[in-house]
Amino acid sequence: MNFIKTSLAVVILSITTGVQASSLDTARSIENKTNTASALSQDKIDRNADSAIAMKAQIEQLQEELKNLTVYHDHLARMVDNQTQEMASIHEQIENIKETRQGVVPLMYQMIDGLSTVVEQDKPIKHEQRLARIEKLQTMMSQADISDAEKFRRILEAYQIEMDYGTKLGTYQDKITLKDGKTIEADLLYLGRLAFVARSLNGSHYWSWNSNKQQWQALDTSEAANIDKAFAMANKQIAPSLLRLPISATLASVESK
Protein backbone atom coordinates (compact mmCIF):
# COMPACT_ATOMS: atom_id res chain seq x y z
CA MET A 1 0.00 0.00 0.00
CA ASN A 2 2.78 2.35 0.91
CA PHE A 3 4.45 1.35 -2.33
CA ILE A 4 1.42 2.33 -4.32
CA LYS A 5 1.22 5.69 -2.60
CA THR A 6 4.85 6.29 -3.22
CA SER A 7 4.52 5.42 -6.89
CA LEU A 8 1.48 7.57 -7.24
CA ALA A 9 3.31 10.48 -5.68
CA VAL A 10 6.19 9.99 -8.07
CA VAL A 11 3.82 9.90 -11.03
CA ILE A 12 2.03 13.02 -9.85
CA LEU A 13 5.35 14.78 -9.30
CA SER A 14 6.51 13.78 -12.76
CA ILE A 15 3.29 15.00 -14.30
CA THR A 16 3.52 18.23 -12.33
CA THR A 17 7.13 18.72 -13.38
CA GLY A 18 6.23 18.05 -17.03
CA VAL A 19 3.33 20.47 -16.88
CA GLN A 20 5.54 23.11 -15.31
CA ALA A 21 8.20 22.58 -17.96
CA SER A 22 5.62 22.82 -20.70
CA SER A 23 4.17 26.00 -19.20
CA LEU A 24 7.64 27.50 -18.93
CA ASP A 25 8.36 26.82 -22.60
CA THR A 26 5.03 28.30 -23.53
CA ALA A 27 5.72 31.35 -21.44
CA ARG A 28 9.13 31.76 -22.99
CA SER A 29 7.68 31.40 -26.48
CA ILE A 30 5.01 33.98 -25.68
CA GLU A 31 7.67 36.26 -24.23
CA ASN A 32 9.82 35.90 -27.37
CA LYS A 33 6.86 36.60 -29.58
CA THR A 34 5.94 39.55 -27.45
CA ASN A 35 9.49 40.91 -27.62
CA THR A 36 9.56 40.42 -31.38
CA ALA A 37 6.21 42.14 -31.79
CA SER A 38 7.39 44.97 -29.54
CA ALA A 39 10.55 45.36 -31.59
CA LEU A 40 8.55 45.44 -34.80
CA SER A 41 6.13 47.96 -33.33
CA GLN A 42 9.00 50.14 -32.10
CA ASP A 43 10.66 49.98 -35.51
CA LYS A 44 7.36 50.94 -37.13
CA ILE A 45 6.96 53.77 -34.62
CA ASP A 46 10.50 54.96 -35.34
CA ARG A 47 9.87 54.87 -39.11
CA ASN A 48 6.63 56.75 -38.71
CA ALA A 49 8.37 59.31 -36.49
CA ASP A 50 11.13 59.80 -39.10
CA SER A 51 8.50 60.13 -41.82
CA ALA A 52 6.60 62.68 -39.76
CA ILE A 53 9.79 64.70 -39.17
CA ALA A 54 10.61 64.57 -42.89
CA MET A 55 7.07 65.65 -43.80
CA LYS A 56 7.23 68.47 -41.29
CA ALA A 57 10.54 69.66 -42.75
CA GLN A 58 9.07 69.45 -46.26
CA ILE A 59 5.99 71.41 -45.17
CA GLU A 60 8.21 74.09 -43.63
CA GLN A 61 10.26 74.24 -46.85
CA LEU A 62 7.10 74.56 -48.95
CA GLN A 63 5.83 77.28 -46.65
CA GLU A 64 9.13 79.16 -47.06
CA GLU A 65 8.96 78.76 -50.83
CA LEU A 66 5.37 80.00 -50.78
CA LYS A 67 6.48 83.01 -48.76
CA ASN A 68 9.29 83.72 -51.26
CA LEU A 69 6.91 83.29 -54.19
CA THR A 70 4.48 85.71 -52.58
CA VAL A 71 7.26 88.29 -52.16
CA TYR A 72 8.41 87.72 -55.77
CA HIS A 73 4.85 87.99 -57.03
CA ASP A 74 4.44 91.33 -55.26
CA HIS A 75 7.77 92.43 -56.72
CA LEU A 76 6.66 91.51 -60.25
CA ALA A 77 3.34 93.27 -59.71
CA ARG A 78 5.16 96.47 -58.73
CA MET A 79 7.46 96.12 -61.75
CA VAL A 80 4.50 95.68 -64.07
CA ASP A 81 2.89 98.78 -62.60
CA ASN A 82 6.12 100.71 -63.05
CA GLN A 83 6.54 99.47 -66.63
CA THR A 84 2.97 100.48 -67.37
CA GLN A 85 3.78 103.97 -66.12
CA GLU A 86 7.01 103.98 -68.17
CA MET A 87 5.11 102.95 -71.29
CA ALA A 88 2.64 105.76 -70.74
CA SER A 89 5.55 108.18 -70.28
CA ILE A 90 7.28 106.87 -73.42
CA HIS A 91 4.11 107.25 -75.47
CA GLU A 92 3.81 110.81 -74.21
CA GLN A 93 7.44 111.50 -75.08
CA ILE A 94 6.93 110.04 -78.54
CA GLU A 95 4.02 112.37 -79.10
CA ASN A 96 6.16 115.28 -77.87
CA ILE A 97 8.99 114.19 -80.18
CA LYS A 98 6.60 114.18 -83.11
CA GLU A 99 5.58 117.73 -82.27
CA THR A 100 9.22 118.76 -81.74
CA ARG A 101 10.22 117.17 -85.02
CA GLN A 102 7.60 119.16 -86.84
CA GLY A 103 9.29 122.29 -85.56
CA VAL A 104 12.93 121.12 -85.82
CA VAL A 105 12.85 119.97 -89.44
CA PRO A 106 11.81 123.38 -90.84
CA LEU A 107 14.39 124.98 -88.55
CA MET A 108 17.14 122.79 -90.03
CA TYR A 109 16.19 123.84 -93.56
CA GLN A 110 16.29 127.48 -92.44
CA MET A 111 19.72 126.96 -90.88
CA ILE A 112 21.08 125.45 -94.12
CA ASP A 113 19.66 128.37 -96.10
CA GLY A 114 21.34 130.68 -93.60
CA LEU A 115 24.67 128.97 -94.22
CA SER A 116 24.21 129.41 -97.97
CA THR A 117 23.60 133.11 -97.48
CA VAL A 118 26.69 133.47 -95.30
CA VAL A 119 28.92 131.73 -97.84
CA GLU A 120 27.53 133.77 -100.73
CA GLN A 121 28.06 137.09 -98.93
CA ASP A 122 31.33 136.18 -97.20
CA LYS A 123 34.89 136.35 -98.49
CA PRO A 124 35.64 133.39 -100.77
CA ILE A 125 37.67 131.61 -98.08
CA LYS A 126 37.73 127.92 -99.12
CA HIS A 127 34.69 128.80 -101.17
CA GLU A 128 34.28 125.54 -103.12
CA GLN A 129 34.81 123.46 -100.01
CA ARG A 130 32.13 125.39 -98.11
CA LEU A 131 29.67 125.12 -101.00
CA ALA A 132 30.28 121.36 -101.16
CA ARG A 133 29.58 121.10 -97.43
CA ILE A 134 26.26 122.90 -97.83
CA GLU A 135 25.32 120.69 -100.78
CA LYS A 136 25.98 117.60 -98.64
CA LEU A 137 23.74 119.00 -95.91
CA GLN A 138 20.96 119.63 -98.42
CA THR A 139 21.26 116.06 -99.73
CA MET A 140 21.37 114.71 -96.19
CA MET A 141 17.98 116.19 -95.32
CA SER A 142 16.18 113.77 -97.66
CA GLN A 143 18.05 110.66 -96.44
CA ALA A 144 15.82 108.47 -94.26
CA ASP A 145 18.73 106.43 -92.85
CA ILE A 146 20.06 109.47 -90.95
CA SER A 147 18.23 110.46 -87.79
CA ASP A 148 17.01 114.01 -87.22
CA ALA A 149 19.36 114.26 -84.25
CA GLU A 150 22.36 113.39 -86.45
CA LYS A 151 21.22 115.81 -89.13
CA PHE A 152 20.96 118.59 -86.56
CA ARG A 153 24.42 117.72 -85.19
CA ARG A 154 26.00 117.96 -88.64
CA ILE A 155 24.35 121.31 -89.30
CA LEU A 156 25.65 122.64 -85.99
CA GLU A 157 29.08 121.29 -86.90
CA ALA A 158 28.96 123.24 -90.19
CA TYR A 159 28.04 126.39 -88.26
CA GLN A 160 31.01 125.82 -85.94
CA ILE A 161 33.34 125.57 -88.94
CA GLU A 162 31.96 128.84 -90.31
CA MET A 163 32.52 130.45 -86.90
CA ASP A 164 36.13 129.25 -86.92
CA TYR A 165 36.74 131.09 -90.18
CA GLY A 166 35.91 134.28 -88.31
CA THR A 167 38.42 133.75 -85.48
CA LYS A 168 41.37 131.73 -86.77
CA LEU A 169 44.56 132.38 -88.72
CA GLY A 170 44.94 129.85 -91.51
CA THR A 171 46.52 129.17 -94.89
CA TYR A 172 45.75 126.94 -97.86
CA GLN A 173 46.47 126.74 -101.57
CA ASP A 174 43.86 127.35 -104.25
CA LYS A 175 43.18 129.00 -107.58
CA ILE A 176 42.21 132.68 -107.71
CA THR A 177 40.84 134.76 -110.56
CA LEU A 178 42.55 138.13 -110.95
CA LYS A 179 41.03 141.42 -112.05
CA ASP A 180 42.01 140.81 -115.65
CA GLY A 181 40.26 137.42 -115.64
CA LYS A 182 43.44 135.40 -115.40
CA THR A 183 43.29 132.38 -113.08
CA ILE A 184 46.43 131.37 -111.18
CA GLU A 185 47.41 129.02 -108.35
CA ALA A 186 48.34 130.91 -105.17
CA ASP A 187 48.92 130.64 -101.45
CA LEU A 188 46.04 132.16 -99.49
CA LEU A 189 45.93 133.41 -95.90
CA TYR A 190 42.97 134.55 -93.82
CA LEU A 191 42.86 136.19 -90.42
CA GLY A 192 39.31 135.73 -89.25
CA ARG A 193 37.14 137.78 -91.58
CA LEU A 194 39.33 140.87 -91.26
CA ALA A 195 42.10 140.02 -93.69
CA PHE A 196 42.20 137.77 -96.74
CA VAL A 197 45.37 137.91 -98.83
CA ALA A 198 47.05 135.89 -101.57
CA ARG A 199 50.66 135.35 -102.58
CA SER A 200 51.93 133.92 -105.85
CA LEU A 201 53.65 130.55 -105.50
CA ASN A 202 57.02 132.13 -106.31
CA GLY A 203 56.43 134.83 -103.69
CA SER A 204 56.77 137.73 -106.12
CA HIS A 205 53.21 139.06 -106.21
CA TYR A 206 50.61 139.80 -103.51
CA TRP A 207 46.88 140.53 -103.55
CA SER A 208 44.19 141.43 -101.04
CA TRP A 209 40.50 140.62 -101.35
CA ASN A 210 38.38 143.72 -101.85
CA SER A 211 35.02 142.85 -100.28
CA ASN A 212 33.25 145.89 -101.72
CA LYS A 213 34.29 145.15 -105.30
CA GLN A 214 34.30 141.36 -104.79
CA GLN A 215 37.65 140.97 -106.53
CA TRP A 216 41.37 140.56 -105.89
CA GLN A 217 43.35 143.75 -105.69
CA ALA A 218 47.11 143.87 -106.28
CA LEU A 219 49.24 145.04 -103.33
CA ASP A 220 52.35 147.15 -103.29
CA THR A 221 55.60 145.33 -102.60
CA SER A 222 55.86 147.30 -99.34
CA GLU A 223 53.26 144.87 -97.88
CA ALA A 224 55.38 141.85 -98.78
CA ALA A 225 57.30 141.61 -95.49
CA ASN A 226 54.15 141.77 -93.35
CA ILE A 227 52.35 139.18 -95.48
CA ASP A 228 55.34 136.82 -95.49
CA LYS A 229 55.51 137.17 -91.72
CA ALA A 230 51.80 136.26 -91.46
CA PHE A 231 52.32 133.17 -93.62
CA ALA A 232 55.29 132.10 -91.48
CA MET A 233 53.27 132.59 -88.30
CA ALA A 234 50.27 130.68 -89.66
CA ASN A 235 52.56 127.79 -90.64
CA LYS A 236 54.09 127.88 -87.12
CA GLN A 237 57.52 128.76 -88.47
CA ILE A 238 57.83 131.74 -86.10
CA ALA A 239 56.36 132.62 -82.72
CA PRO A 240 53.08 134.57 -82.62
CA SER A 241 53.47 138.34 -82.64
CA LEU A 242 51.71 141.49 -83.82
CA LEU A 243 50.66 141.42 -87.47
CA ARG A 244 50.00 144.22 -89.94
CA LEU A 245 47.71 143.12 -92.77
CA PRO A 246 45.42 144.94 -95.22
CA ILE A 247 41.82 144.88 -93.99
CA SER A 248 39.30 143.14 -96.24
CA ALA A 249 36.14 144.22 -94.38
CA THR A 250 33.20 145.49 -96.38
CA LEU A 251 32.31 149.16 -96.33
CA ALA A 252 29.09 148.37 -94.44
CA SER A 253 31.05 146.54 -91.74
CA VAL A 254 33.49 149.40 -91.33
CA GLU A 255 30.71 152.01 -91.14
CA SER A 256 28.82 149.93 -88.51
CA LYS A 257 31.85 150.08 -86.27
So what's the pLDDT on residue 7? 54
Q: Is residue 78 part of a domain?
A: no
| Confidence class for position 254, pLDDT limits 50, 70, 90 | very low
pLDDT band (50, 70, 90) for residue 9 = low
Say if 99 falls within a structural domain.
yes
Mean pLDDT over 39-56 rounds to 79
Beta bridge partners of 7: none
CA distance 73 to 95: 33
In a domain, 183, yes or no: yes
The β-bridge relationship of strands 183-191 and 195-200 is antiparallel
Residue 67 domain-assigned (yes or no): no
For residues 35-52, average pLDDT: 77
Question: Does 241 reside within a domain?
Answer: yes
> What is the pLDDT at residue 108?
93
Res 146: pLDDT: 94
Pick from 116, 133, 165: which residue ends a domain? 165
Domain span at 207 = 169-257
Same domain, 220 and 142: no
- Does pLDDT of 101 surpass 90? no
Has residue 13 got a pLDDT over 60?
Answer: no
- Between the two ends of the chain, the Cα-to-Cα distance in Å is 176
Q: Do 136 and 210 fall within a single domain?
A: no
Number of domains in the chain: 2
